[in-house]
Chains A and B, each alone.
Chain A
Amino acid sequence: MRSRGLFAYVALALGLVFLYVPIVSMIVFSFNYSRLVTVWDAAHSPTLKWYGALAHNGQILAAAWLSIRIALIAATVAVVLGTLAGTALARFGAYRGRLLLAGMSTAPIVMPEVITGLSLLLLFVSLQQLIGWPKGVGAVTITLAHITFCMAYVTIVVQSRLAGFDESLEEAAMDLGARPFKVFWRITLPLILPAVASGWLLAFTLSWDDLVITQFVAGPGSSTLPMVIFSKVRFGVTPDVNALATILVLLVASGIAISTVWMRRREQRRARDERLAAAANL
């Protein structure tokens, strides 16, 4: 028993090292002076010169801004659609068409991205031939594609959260005469809000990060940040990408830390309220 436990913990420690060494090395070398990214120039390092170069790189800044706008819209629409789908799958029983929706909600998660990207582009091209819309590919088609693959993740997060607690609260509200929409707004939504929030974050990250699908449905003049990074790193390492990566890692890490604290606070407040309510009933 002991030895196996030990083996598992050693494996865990090594695994975590494996997960973090590349990220740490990227951060370290972002402060390296030398253009030869991985040869440490002890005489001039550490330096912030690549961060300075980044601030003046109009191409990267424009791409980042486009990516943020697309991710904001895609995540928001995907959360609405995914919450609808998750609610239907978890609450409507075995209605006709459930199997279809369930299948189309899980398939995008494992579908190889090249296939999703190709199929979406061919759809947009066909639509343009048929009805003259969308006019060419660009930010609009990228956003539509991102909504589609992001909503699958939101659906699963919301569905499993809804499956996690029973329907008695909603039924009680119905018995007291609340209309379905009001029940959803006042009872269901507050209960699944943590799932909806993490679904939004997940969708935002996936959209912000996507390269392969985006490449298919992007046009000239609509280069997202991953597309710019990919075209830079395809031919080797470049120091300013290390600086960019460092900034992104720090942003994500602090974002996750903040949202974790926020959710924990919220759960604690709810637990306290419940205790107070229970005490008041005594």
Chain B
Amino acid sequence: MSQAKHFFEKHRKLAVLIGIGILIILPQLTRSNYIRGVLARIIVYATLASGLNIINGYSGQSCLGIVGFTCIGAYSGAILTTELGLPFLASLLITLLLCAAAGFVVSLPTLKLNGMFLSIITLGFSEMMRLTALNWQKLTNGPLGIKGIPNVELFGWKVKSGAPFYYLALVALLLVVFILNRLLKSRVGRAWIAIREDQDAARSLGVKVSHYRCVNFMTGAIICGTMGVFIAYYYRYVSPDMFSLDEGFNVLSMCVVGGSGTLFGPIAGAFVINLLTEGFRFASEWRMVMYAVLIITMMWVRPQGLFGAKDSVIAGQMSFWNFFAKKNKKKEDGDVNHIGG
């Protein structure tokens, strides 16, 4: 297992090409349109998780409510199509700008504060968006939702559900990952990582923390919001309960389980979580319980997630081996708290 990992780390480019190749042929491996639909959904969620990961994994902030932006994006896509008849790309662009503005506004209060505050604000924001969608009947049709979203049409070509939609989503995922990679390997990414690792040190070297946090959050908000449009076209229907906080925790668990702080982690997480969901169809009410247990287990055993950034503050100081070591130490520890942890 670790030999494979070693191989992949050394031959990065090759590994990436192999990965993309696998993703391209994946839908061809099955004849079932249902499975192709699931795969398409996985790709959409992988992109969503990548957006969340940029915030949670790269700037020391903790966003718990991206579902608010996805909600804005989905409703924006739905309304622009059904009410105004705008084509797919146009609504994508407008949604992008809308979510950028929303991301800017939401991040404002917390720029000067501890990164934990963002989690509170984003939760509140997401609930606000859901409640607005539920109650602003004139705009959103309230609890009934918006039905009848057509298929995506790109330059006259109808993108049907199943394999075609999968490839459309795959283009989005690859584009997003490509852009994020370029950002991370630049001065901007270095600033983000510096803020994540040690904020005071970063400031002492001239990194304007509030500015970079804002840019970071807007990036995540744009990605998550724009993918909301994809969600609208995928289900061809939007309603407020698709954007409850619990649904948002869905995406969060992908980042937590799959890994944060790396570009591959959220993609892996999307696969893992969605496959588990499919597997758990017979006991769907236990789905959320499963996510919860997974999140807690991950935090105990491997805080950075399966494929996350081991070399980062995200991983804490606990490794898998520490977990067992601490368990044995309990007996001698006695009552006094261990200074220094």
To the question of whether A and B form a pair in one complex, the answer is: no
Interface residues in chain A, defined as those with a beta carbon under 8 Å from any beta carbon in chain B:
none
Interface residues in chain B, defined as those with a beta carbon under 8 Å from any beta carbon in chain A:
none
